[in-house]
Structure 1
């Protein structure tokens, strides 16, 4: 059977066109993606995603720990010990946020960086999941809360693409073209500190003030610095951790080496001596090229992609109730952001894999195609198995 995949993974939710760039996915891919910065005025009303009240709730009532918050001032990150404290009775941890210390740092001009909001704030989590599905790359969301006339970080570049979404207040952005285009994840801006500093002195590619509803897309490597204006600024950044051809090459090399492990000639010892003989180098090069031509990096690449994201939330109690009360009329659906694929008789997902009997393949194919509404559509035994595996969830969850 040919490979089938959850269509929701590819289709996405249209957030790119409707709320971020005001361009279709096709137009964005052709004209903007990984090529140039893009400023979009009045892209959307983002008050449903985040707010000042959300900042206060996360810091004062959610019991967050580091590294869910960073605090920065004048280009430097403050030590975690300066804004954390023990959790108190019943919480045997020492690094929960101390809201009083956070307030004092903020009042003194520090920027608050709430990290990984895709794990802690549901509206941002849902938005991030939709954007990731549409782009096909993992997405992380941070919030930057900056006091008036303050800046958090000097000019720098990121090793991931970003969408900047202004929520409240205004912030002036200076954007410069890259000094090191398309940096890999292990090529931070500090490797090019002097070039970044020098380039930031030149004329900006974009010099603008973002207001609520404005967005700014920056490919990785583009230099940027920002300063709040006359009021508190809150903006979100959606960091897109792009898969690259280099990453694909890494998986191809791994697949090729796995093939060479099974070649008895490659496992033989080299002759005695300090240097490998030229003949052996030539033989290994030839065999490696053959293995690269034969190797298929797709399985390991797909596994790595799945590991970089998380499936939609699953409530254990609702799941147990669904299993215990399962009827042919029970409404069910495929769990969101699962990256489900059926290859042959194996269903692979972000929560593991299942080998299926031939009799279940047609029903699972219908599930991946979105053609299943009730447990009876699948068959009760298969529906229960998929519920217990966390692949299927009750439709109301």
Structure 2
């Protein structure tokens, strides 16, 4: 299959000129393993890693259309089911924050009021008024999206999460901000105007709202079926263009210094067995010596890559378990068993 390309048709906004080469702290990208899911989104994965990953934003037009894992009809069904709950649903407006109480309600179960359930009528009213509907961590509650993020997590070796945005024409859901993740965006319906700005100047940056001057490096209108990649930390904002804009955002997480330190601690302490309460000075000194010897031996055997992979593995381990209880299989199993003898 011919690779997807970031070249746009003449009537669309072209990509900017290549950005400066990565700074020294960005490692050389090694040969990438086969990544079929990523290939479906960006085409040639080798070229993607070499020219875009952590370097520059890009727009891709897959040769084979990507069937959306979550559609607007499925979202309607999820709302109609009545179980969507905070914090999986949020209403956003760039200049006017919307309190959850304005679009949630309570349900009475066994005589007890339980709050946080989404009021579908209020959601529609707020959308009609220009607000954006944000569905958080879709991979937690929508099995096909969970399967997609699981495949990408395995291919990239990093935790992948999914979010879904629905924005009316002319509206902006979030202000200019930075995400602590690389983002792959699939436009599912309508179109959306994107402004992607420069990344952080150094490692001392925070995710969230960006104020002040921040030069744009890409301005483009993303149309149904197209994919936008935004590198980690690159500031961005988006406005609904034509139709009801709906897009799926896949966020690729990375550990920070705190997570790296935690991983190092776990690696250093692995296999160390110490008495819980040494009773005298001699025992305390012996325990401290055992600890130092173990840590020195472990530290000498570890590499920076070991620490990074341990931190990434800890993030991946935090993904929810989507295993079903197996009720249908249990029903079949019990149907084949002989009827138990009645209790006397």
Query: What is the TM-score of this pair, normalised by structure 2?
Result: 0.72
> What is the aligned partner in structure 2 of residue 68 from structure 1?
88
Shift of 1:319: 4.2
1-structure distance, mates of 2:334, 2:48: 46
Please point out which of 93, 98, 103 is paired with 1:83: 103
Q: Return the structure number with greater helix share.
A: 1
Q: Does 1:107 align with 2:125?
A: no
CA distance 1:94–1:44, change in 2 (3 Å): farther
Shift of 1:211: 0.2
Please point out which of 293, 298, 309 is paired with 2:300: 293
> What is the aligned partner in structure 2 of residue 145 from structure 1?
166
> What is the aligned partner in structure 1 of residue 262 from structure 2?
250
Shift of 1:22: 1.1
2-structure distance, mates of 1:67, 1:315: 24
2-structure distance, mates of 1:244, 1:30: 23
Stretches of structure 1 that go unaligned for 5 or more consecutive residues are 1-9, 269-283, 327-397
CA contact (8 A) 1:11 1:133 kept: no
> What is the aligned partner in structure 2 of residue 199 from structure 1?
213
- Residues 1-397 of structure 1 aligned to structure 2 (within 5 Å): 14-18=36-40, 20-24=41-45, 26-42=46-62, 44-88=64-108, 92-180=113-201, 188-190=206-208, 196-200=210-214, 202=215, 204-243=216-255, 247-256=259-268, 262=274, 292-294=299-301, 301=311, 304-321=314-331
Query: Which secondary structure does the structure 1 equivalent of 2:146 belong to?
Result: helix
CA distance 1:44–1:64, change in 2 (3 Å): farther
CA contact (8 A) 1:170 1:233 kept: yes
CA contact (8 A) 1:43 1:213 kept: no
CA contact (8 A) 2:255 2:312 kept: no
1-structure distance, mates of 2:332, 2:314: 31
CA distance 1:126–1:169, change in 2 (3 Å): same
Aligned residues: 293
After superposition, give the CA deviation of every residue in 1:338-380 in whole Å (9 maximum; x if it has no partner).
Answer: xxxxxxxxxxxxxxxxxxxxxxxxxxxxxxxxxxxxxxxxxxx
CA distance 1:289–1:98, change in 2 (3 Å): same
Q: Which deviates more from structure 2 when the two are superposed, residues 41-50 or residues 74-83?
A: 41-50
Shift of 1:305: 4.2
CA distance 1:199–1:59, change in 2 (3 Å): farther
TM-align CA RMSD: 3.7
Shift of 1:247: 3.5
CA contact (8 A) 1:181 1:222 kept: no
